[in-house]
Amino acid sequence: MDLSELTQIKERELAARKKYTLRCCMAAGCVSSNSEAVKQELEKAVVEAGLQDQVEVRGVGCMRLCCEGPLVQADPSGMLFEQVDPEAAKSIIQTLKGGKAKARVGDANAPFFKKQKSIVLANSGIVDPERIESYIAADGYHALYHVLREMERSEVVEEIVASGLRGRGGAGFPTGLKWGTVAKSAGSRKFVVCNADEGDPGAFMDRSVLESDPHSVLEGMAIAAYAVGAEQGFIYVRAEYPLAIERLKNAIKQAKAKGLLGAGIFESPFNFTVDIRIGAGAFVCGEETALMMSIEGRRGTPRPRPPFPAESGLWGCPTLINNVETFANVAPIIRNGAQWFAGIGTEKSKGTKVFALAGKIQNTGLIEVPMGTPLRTIVEEMGGGAPDGGRIKAVQTGGPSGGCIPADSLDTPVDYESLGKLGSIMGSGGMIVMDQTTNMVDVARFFMEFCMDESCGKCIPCRAGTVQMHHLLTKIMEGKGTARDLQKLEELCDMVRSTSLCGLGQTAPNPTLSTLRFFRHEYEQRLQPDTFGPRGNGKPARATPSA
C-alpha cells in the first residue's frame, strides 16, 4: 500500500457514489429495534423500483438520536426518518421522487443536531463501518501515511502535545505528555492499549465509536504506536459489546489485507499488529492496571501506582493506554493540525467531548459538543428538557465515579475543571438527566450498590467500606437511619476516598458526597430520632470521691 493506492481507493469509492443515498443506522441501538430488517427492506424496495443505479442503501454507524430509532437519512435531501418500520421501506424510496413517507419525518435541523460539532463522530452515520473503502473515502488512513512517511516520532508527540488533547477516559491526563513518557521510557518492547471496557451505567460513547467507525480507532492506535515506538497493540473490549467486537475484528482483517496493519506499513519500516482482548464483565478492568493484568491472563485486580504503565505496564514493558475516544481524536488532529484542534474548546479543555445523553430527557442519544458548552445547552436545548413537562433536578456525569450537578448549576461549562469544582468529573461521557421525581438518596444508593458489586475485593476500604456505606444508605433510604448513621456515612466516604487502592474505590463515595453537598435535606428529612438514650460522658458523675 502506498499513497497512490490509497488515493485510488478513495477516488473509486467516490466515483461509485449514486445520486441518492439512504443511510440506515446499524449501530446497536437501532439494530435492537430492528434496523437490519429496515435495511433489507430498503434494499428490496430499491430493486423493486428498479432504482439500483440511482440509490445506494448504506449501513452506517450511529446517527445520534437513539430514542427515535431505527433511523434512516436520505442524501442529498437530508430528510431524516424516525422509528422506521420495515414496512415503510417502499414509501421511503418513493420520497426520493417526491412521494410521502409512511414514517415519521424528523427535524434534521433541530438543535440536537445543529449544536453538535463532530470530530470523533465525524464519520459516524456517514461511512459504512464494515467497509474500509468507505473510511478511506473519508480521508481515512491518510493521517497514518503522513505520519509514517513525513514525520519524525518526536514530531508526532509534539503535535499531540500542541493540540492540548486530554484523556477522554475520565481523568483528563494530557495525552501528549503520556505519549512522550512512553516514547522516552527505555525498553525495546512497548505496547499500545486501547481501553474499550466502557462500564459506567448509562454510557455508550465508546461502543458507538467502535460500532460506527472502528478504523478511526485503529488509525489512532497505529499513529500512537509509531510515536511511542510500539509494534503491538491490544484493544480491550467488554464482552457485552458483541457488535463492536465483530466490527473491530472485521476492521482489523480488512486493514491487514490492505497492508494498513502488519509489517512495513506504507512501505516504511514500521510494523504494527492489533489484537482484541475481550473482558469478562468486571467493571474494575476499566482501571488501567487491572486491565493490563487481565490482558496478561491474570485476575483483573489493580496494583498500586507508581510505577505507571508508561514506565512499567504489560509484562513490565512501557505501555501506552488511552481510551477509545482519545484514539479517535488522533487522526483528525494529524490531518487538520494541532492548531485547528486547539482552537476548539476552552483554554484548558480542548476539542470536543462525546456524551451519551440518557435518563429523564426528551432526546436520548449520542452528542458531540465543543468543550465548554454549557450543560444547559446540552440538556435543555439539545436534549429538549425533561419529558412530560417535568422539571430537571440534576445531571449526573461521570457515572459511579462522578457526581450530581444540581439544576441551578446548569450554566456550568462542560470542561474538566468546571465539573471538578462541582464535585463531579467529566468522566468518560455518560450524562444521566434526573427530574423532580428522582430521589437523590436512592441515586447515591444505586451507584454505591454498583461500586460494591464491582469492587474487586483486593483492598479493604473499597471491599468492606462500600458494603457499609451501602448498608447505611439503605438504612437512611428506608427511613431507619439516624443522625449518627449519617455521620458514620460521611466518615466512611472520606476514609474510602483517601485510602482505597485504585480509582474505583477512591471515587466510589463521589455520588454520595455530591448528593450530600447539594441535596443534603433529602437525607436529613429521612432521619429518625435516635433511640440510643442519653450519651454518657464516659465518666460516672459521682466517681469523684465526694466524701
Partner 1 sequence: MAAITLTINDKQVSAEDSQTVLNVAQEQGIPIPTLCHLEGVYDVGACRLCLVEVAGVNKLLPACTTKAAEGMVVRTESERLRKYRRMTLELLFAERNHVCAICVANGNCELQTMACNQGMDHVRYDYCFPKWDMDLTHERFGMDHNRCILCTRCVRVCWHIEGAGTKNVAGRGARSHIITDMFQPWGTAESCTSCGKCVMACPTGALFERGSTTAEMQRDRTKLEFIVTAREKKQWIA
Partner 2 sequence: MDRLKVATIWFGGCSGCHMSFLDLDEFLIDLADKIEIVFSPVVDAKEYPENVDVCLIEGALCNEENLEWLHKIRKRTKAIVAFGDCAVTGNVPTMRNALGLNNDVNVLDRAYRECADHNAGIPNEAGIVPTLLKRVVPIQEAVHVDLFLPGCPPPADRIKSLLVQVLEGKSPVLEGADLKFG
User: What residue ranges bind partner 2 (CB under 8 A)?
Assistant: 531-547
DSSP-derived secondary structure for 388-422? TT--EEEEEESGGGSEEEEGGGTT-B-SHHHHHHT
By CB under 8 A, what part of segment 387-406 binds partner 1?
none
| Shorter beta-carbon distance to partner 1: residue 123 or 301 | 301
**Contact 326/192 with Cβ under 8 angstroms?**
no
Does position 249 bind partner 1 by CB under 8 A?
no
For 59, the 3-state DSSP assignment is strand
Query: Residues in contact with partner 1, total (CB under 8 A)?
Result: 30
By CB under 8 A, what part of segment 491-530 binds partner 1?
491-492, 495, 498-501
Grid cell for residue 532: 440510643
Q: Taking CB within 5 to 8 Å according to partner kind, which of partner 2, partner 1, none is near residue 543?
A: partner 2
Q: Taking CB within 5 to 8 Å according to partner kind, which of partner 2, partner 1, none is near residue 534?
A: partner 2
Rounded CA-CA distance 511/530 in Å is 26
| Shorter beta-carbon distance to partner 2: residue 306 or 534 | 534
| Shorter beta-carbon distance to partner 2: residue 15 or 541 | 541
For 309, the 3-state DSSP assignment is coil
Query: Cell match 458507538: residue?
Result: 208
Counting every residue written for the chain, the total comes to 547
Single out the residue of 16, 47, 105, 467 in contact with partner 1 (rule: CB under 8 A): 467
CB of 52 to partner 1, least distance (A): 54
CB of 499 to partner 1, least distance (A): 5
Single out the residue of 97, 299, 421, 480 in contact with partner 1 (rule: CB under 8 A): 299
Query: Cell match 483492598: residue?
Result: 459
CB of 528 to partner 2, least distance (A): 14
For 196, 249, 415, 416, the CA distances from 168, given in Å and listed in that order, are 11, 23, 11, 10
CB of 445 to partner 2, least distance (A): 21
User: Which amino acid appears at position 204 of this protein?
Assistant: F
Task: Residue 210: name the closest of 276, 159, 161 by CA.
Answer: 276
| Shorter beta-carbon distance to partner 2: residue 71 or 469 | 469
By CB under 8 A, what part of segment 251-290 binds partner 1?
282, 284
Query: Cell match 432526546: residue?
Result: 363
Q: Taking CB within 5 to 8 Å according to partner kind, which of partner 2, partner 1, none is near residue 535?
A: partner 2
CB of 538 to partner 2, least distance (A): 5
Rounded CA-CA distance 65/68 in Å is 6
| Shorter beta-carbon distance to partner 2: residue 76 or 529 | 529
| Shorter beta-carbon distance to partner 2: residue 342 or 464 | 464
Near partner 1 by CB under 8 A, which window of 135-143, 174-182, 329-337, 464-472?
Answer: 464-472
For 72, 242, 465, the CA distances from 39, given in Å and listed in that order, are 9, 20, 50
Rounded CA-CA distance 21/56 in Å is 5
| Shorter beta-carbon distance to partner 2: residue 197 or 485 | 485
CB of 523 to partner 2, least distance (A): 21
Does position 439 bind partner 1 by CB under 8 A?
no
| Shorter beta-carbon distance to partner 1: residue 376 or 475 | 475
Measure the CA dihedral 366/242/46/79, to 10°: 0
Task: Residue 519: name the closest of 466, 488, 476 by CA.
Answer: 476
Grid cell for residue 310: 508508561
Q: Taking CB within 5 to 8 Å according to partner kind, which of partner 1, partner 2, none is near residue 282?
A: partner 1
CB atoms within 10 A of CB 507: 24
| Shorter beta-carbon distance to partner 1: residue 302 or 332 | 302
Q: Applying CB under 8 A, which residues contact partner 1?
A: 282, 284, 299, 303-304, 452-461, 463-468, 471, 488, 491-492, 495, 498-501
